[in-house]
Amino acid sequence: MSEDLFETDRTPRARVMIVDDDEISAGLLESLLEDEFETCTLPSGEACLDHLIRFGPDVVLLDIQMSGIDGYETCRRLHALEEWSSPTEQPVVIFFSGHDTLEERLKAYESGGDDFIAKPPAPEEVVSKVRALVTLVAERKRVQSEKDSIQKMAMSFLTNLGESGVALQFLRSGLACTDMAELARLTIAALRDYELDAHVQLGALGRARTFVPSGSATPLEESVFEQARKMERIFQFRRKIVINYPHVSILINNFPIEDEERCGRLRDHLAIIAEGCEASMLALLRDTEIRARTSLLQDTAAGVEHAIVTLREQYRTLQAETRLSLHELNQFFAKELMYLGLSDVQEEQMLSMLSRGIEQTLAAFDRGLDFDSQLGGLLANIRAGKD
């Protein structure tokens, strides 16, 4: 097997561009790197920019002080080139300079540099930093490649999902609708994604509402729906097609009858959307019924609460009035007995009988306190249910 074949099977070496107008300095850097990397040496910033795209370096070693444009301007123009297909295609830049000051390093950073080496460079520092940045470039490209691959797969998936995806998205959104107008809008929008001009009627026959993209339906459109809803599940007349369900009727005005294959697919999708719309309508009707029943129960609870409060107040008033009347009756008899000409024994018997009667009456009211307690408990339960 030939040596050339082995060369082509090797992993391509990373490329390093050395830009320095000092031939001795440039030659030193090249001698340090040429065994491990593919190198290119250029004498100026202008030459760097002219050969940049053609050579395609992973790393640029860039001197700062050069005749012509300096390293800072070269770096700025390098990053501004429009030929880069993505930011990851741009090389990383290592500045090197004989002036190792904070100001120089800040300028290098602001112009888009990635690292800085002071002259004269230590050989191991140069090789180490170039290796590190070559690894960084490879990692950036790998991450970008994975990102591009994922985006491509996502776009492919969405494209393949196509028409079925529209129907599935409608089914998800339709179940979250809170009123008929929103459901009609979603239905019309979903069918518009199929490039279909759709009108929708929702509700039971005789109490339905018609929704059209332009606003209000005309009397003629209303009459078309009224007649079409009496037809079979799917009714077609030339380019118009109607899909009927008990609470949903969809009228398509521009069905593409010239494309038989597409018509077949659209009928399937229309059936799915219409059935999903019917399910959403049933959910809305159940929700409306539940809310009506809840409102009725709340009104009933409010009436019962008012009746209980009134009954408790009347009972307590009667209790207080009865105690007062019995007290007054006892005082009256105590005063009037002396005028009846009764003996002391008879008076004592009469007062004793009266006292027992009053005590029995008051005891009966005391037992009635349990009734008041039960009313209070019922009232508390009703109020807790309302909260």
Residue 387 has a pLDDT of 60
Residue 71, domain extent: 3-148
Cα–Cα dist 328/185, whole Å: 77
CATH number at residue 48: 3.40.50.2300
Q: How many CB atoms lie within 10 A of CB 337?
A: 16
Residue 8 has a pLDDT of 43
Query: Is residue 162 in some structural domain?
Result: no
Tens digit of pLDDT for each residue in 257-276? 887 877 888 888 888 888 88
pTM of the model: 0.41
Tens digit of pLDDT for each residue in 308-357? 777 767 777 777 777 777 777 777 777 776 666 677 777 677 778 877 87
Same domain membership, residue 365 and residue 275: no
Contacts of 341 (CB under 8 A, 6+ apart): none
* pLDDT at residue 254 is higher than 80: yes
26 alpha carbon, distance to own chain's centre? 57
Contact 235, 228 (CB under 8 A): yes
Same domain membership, residue 296 and residue 275: no
Q: Is 201 helix (H, G, I), strand (E, B) or coil?
A: strand
Query: Is residue 159 in some structural domain?
Result: no
Same domain membership, residue 296 and residue 285: no
Contact 119, 98 (CB under 8 A): yes
How would DSSP label each residue in 97-136?
ES---HHHHHHHHHTT-SEEEESSPPHHHHHHHHHHHHHH
CATH number at residue 281: 3.30.450
Same domain membership, residue 300 and residue 262: no
Residue 1 has a pLDDT of 37
Phi-psi bin for 245: left (phi > 0), alpha (psi -120 to 50), beta?
A: beta
Phi-psi bin for 238: left (phi > 0), alpha (psi -120 to 50), beta?
A: left
**Cα dihedral 157, 158, 164, 167 sign:** positive
- 193: part of which helix (H) or strand (E)? helix 180-193
Range in 3-17, 23-37, 166-180, 297-311 the model is least confident about: 3-17
Same domain membership, residue 61 and residue 127: yes
Residue 385 has a pLDDT of 62
How would DSSP label each residue in 206-244?
TS-EEEBTTBSPPHHHHHHHHHHTTS-SEEEETTEEEEE
Cα–Cα dist 183/282, whole Å: 12
- 309: part of which helix (H) or strand (E)? helix 260-336
